Structure 1
Amino acid sequence: MTEPGRLAVRKTYKLYIGGAFPRSESGRSYAVTSSKGDFLANAALASRKDARDAVVSARKAFPGWSGATPYNRGQILYRVAEMMEGRRAQFVDEVTAADGVSARKAGELVDAAVDRLVWYAGWSDKIGAVQGSANPVAGPYFNLSSSEPTGVVAVVAPPEGPLLGLISVIAPVIVTGNTCVVVASERAPLPAITLAEVLATSDLPGGVVNLLTGRLADLAPWLASHMDVNAVDLTGCPEELAVSCEQGAAENLKRVLRPTGKTDWLADPGTGRMTAFLETKTVWHPVGI
């Protein structure tokens, strides 16, 4: 609460690109309202130029992030979870306003988001063992398959679950060594912006996660057709928009994760979202050498 006679310090919400918080290149913003229609804030309205800048940052960060040890990636994700725990009250307020749920229910959703991040952090040095294999072949050779990250992934966050759903689509992408450009929920972007502030002050290298706020219909097709994006997660796309994004993604044979209807983000996520953005490399080696 602002004391009488003192002006409130209004927050200016920006994008998160390359570890920094730039204003939108367009200079535009849009009003974010609560589930009851009350004004909450103005969020940056990202342009195509902002999306291109985000892809450049993600590509620049990819060699270092994919080259880090899985154990190190897991440590960093756990650090992000620690810092989210420290800002729990703010996340609870934002989820309450976005979804119109009680503070108690919002607290459960925030706790689930933190737990989900810890769960994925634990998979960082295990998914390779689960996905890799030693293959029997007819000849005196070792034949070994191992997983590698796909590259830069464009992610359309779900409109529901503005925090838990967001974590559930970002964490499996980055824990496996990919970098990403995320289009936050157009309806409820404030938890995503707060998450960006957490990421910026954690050990996550700049550019590994880039968060855009704005019109989904403007950004998703552009990212899907971008020739330096290797894969797209269309979870948050409505059906018609998902079809046009798939058509754009076909230009450079991107991997595409299709939306599957309404998702229960509280359910066991399984490993499917991690393996969706992994490539398999198989090598042969003569026995005895």
Structure 2
Amino acid sequence: MTDRIAVAKTYKLYLGGAFPRSESGRTYEVTDARGKFLANAAQASRKDVRDAVAAARKAFPGWSGATAYNRGQVLYRVAEMLQGRREQFVAEVAASEGLPAKRAQSTVDTAIDRWVWYAGWTDKIATVLGSTNPVAGPYFCFTVPEPTGVVGVLAPQQSALLGLVSVLAPVLAGGNTAVVLASQDRPLPAVTLSEVLATSDLPGGVANILTGRTGELAPWLATHADVNALDLCGSPESQRADLERGAANTVKRVLPAPAGEPEWTNPPDIRRLRGYLEAKTVWHPMGT
């Protein structure tokens, strides 16, 4: 008898709560840290970026209009499901990043804890980042944080899960919706995360995850007029100036890419939450 040939898995995109194939029909091979074939991933196109932005925009009113408590509960549920698929994430992180088993386990545990940390912020954002302002006159003046809108996220290229969670969770916790370009060479943890999101309580379209060539897709995301903010964390260094100029043409908030790969195991930073929030100040006359 001959050895059985394994059936190679071909993953799809995650758009609007569904798993469509790329509009272009293209795929590319995903390998582990040693170059061994793992699976085929969908190679998204410009049309897929537009569809993802449209899905995120459609989902924004419902997600941003939900109570902070409700958003927190939904994100906690995602963390529960991450925990339930822990072993799969450990295997994929170990293969993608070439980590030993114990370090991969630690990375996955940190990613789950980080998701919980941001979930816990949903009903505290207004208290910490809002304010009541002293004014000279018979007015109440207060400032409240509001979500920016649709956020384009270029996920870190090296940290396929922990880095992804560190940039996606604060976007969702603040009431924004997201279009994520996953790590180009290490997309499998992002694909598995999309399966978790699809089977959780997160409404379709709140998070959309694309796989493919970051250098090809990033300019379309940066120049899209219906994207309100852009995280350049995982952008190719040679493109960053052009992406910032493209974002400026449509007056986006831009979170610049860090110098070098961040140490994602460091404690999370509330500044990522603040980066995707607008400050709305209201004046109200007293006695009316």
Structure 2 counterpart of 1:166: 164
Structure 2: distance between partners of 1:66 and 1:240:
34
Q: Distance in 2 between matches of 1:142 and 1:250?
A: 35
CA displacement 1:35-93 (0-9 Å, x = unmatched): 11111111000000000000000000000000000111111111001001111111011
Instruction: Give 1:210's match in structure 2, choosing from 208, 231, 241.
Output: 208
Counterpart of 2:142? Answer: 144
1:273 and 2:269 are equivalent in the alignment: no
How far the C-alpha of 1:9 sits from its partner, in A, is 5.0
**How far off its partner does 1:7 sit?**
6.7
Indicate the larger mover: 6-15 or 49-58.
6-15
Measure the CA separation in 2 of the matches of 1:140 and 1:205: 43
The answer (yes or no) to whether the contact 2:8–2:40 under 8 Å persists in 1 is no
Which of residues 28, 33, 58 is equivalent to 1:35? 33
User: Greater CA deviation, 117-126 or 234-243?
Assistant: 234-243
Percent identity over the alignment is: 64
Unaligned runs of 5+ in 2: none
Q: State the Cα distance separating 1:238 from its structure 2 match.
A: 2.7
Kept after mapping to 1: 8 A contact 2:142/2:283: yes
Equivalent residue number for residue 107 of structure 1: 105
Query: Cα gap change, 1:240/1:7 in structure 2, threshold over 3 Å: closer, same or farther?
Result: closer
CA drift at 1:240: 2.2
TM-superposed CA distance for 1:115, in Å, is 0.3
Local SS of the residue matching 1:123: coil
Alignment of 1:245-264 (within 5 A): 245-261=243-259, 262-264=261-263
State whether residues 215 and 236 of structure 2, in contact with CA within 8 Å, keep that contact through their aligned partners in structure 1: no
Residue type at the aligned position of 1:83: M
- 3-state SS of the aligned residue for 2:120? helix
Give TM-score, length-normalised by structure 2.
0.97
The answer to whether structure 1 residue 98 and structure 2 residue 92 are counterparts is: no
- Please show how residues 175-186 of structure 1 align to structure 2 within 5 Å: 175-186=173-184
Secondary structure, aligned partner of 1:232: strand
Return the alpha-carbon distance in structure 2 between the equivalents of residues 197 and 250 of structure 1.
Answer: 33
Within 5 A, what are the aligned runs for 1:9-28?
9-28=7-26
What residue is the counterpart of 1:191 in the other structure?
189
User: 1:150 is aligned with what amino acid?
Assistant: T
Per the alignment, residue 235 of structure 2 pairs with 237
Deviation at 1:127, TM superposition (A): 1.1
Give the Cα–Cα distance (whole angstroms) in 2 for the partners of residues 20 and 254 of structure 1: 27
Q: 1:284 matched to which residue of 2? A: 283
Deviation at 1:161, TM superposition (A): 1.1
Letter in 2 for 1:267: N
The corresponding residue for 2:81 is: 83
CA distance in 2, matches of 1:105, 1:16: 28
Q: In structure 2, what residue type is equivalent to 1:93?
A: A
Aligned to 1:122: 120
Take 1:269 and 1:43, find their aligned partners in 2: how far apart are those partners?
30
Q: Supply the AA of the counterpart residue of 2:267.
A: D
Q: Deviations over 1:222-253 (max 9, x none)?
A: 10000000000000113221111111101111
Moved over 6 A (4+): 4-7
Query: 2 CA distance for matches of 1:230 and 1:240?
Result: 23
Structure 1 portions without partners, runs of 5+: none
For residues 135 and 190 of structure 2, the distance between their equivalents in structure 1, rounded to whole angstroms, comes to: 48
Question: How does the TM-score come out when normalised to structure 1?
Answer: 0.97
Paired AA for residue 287 in structure 1 = M
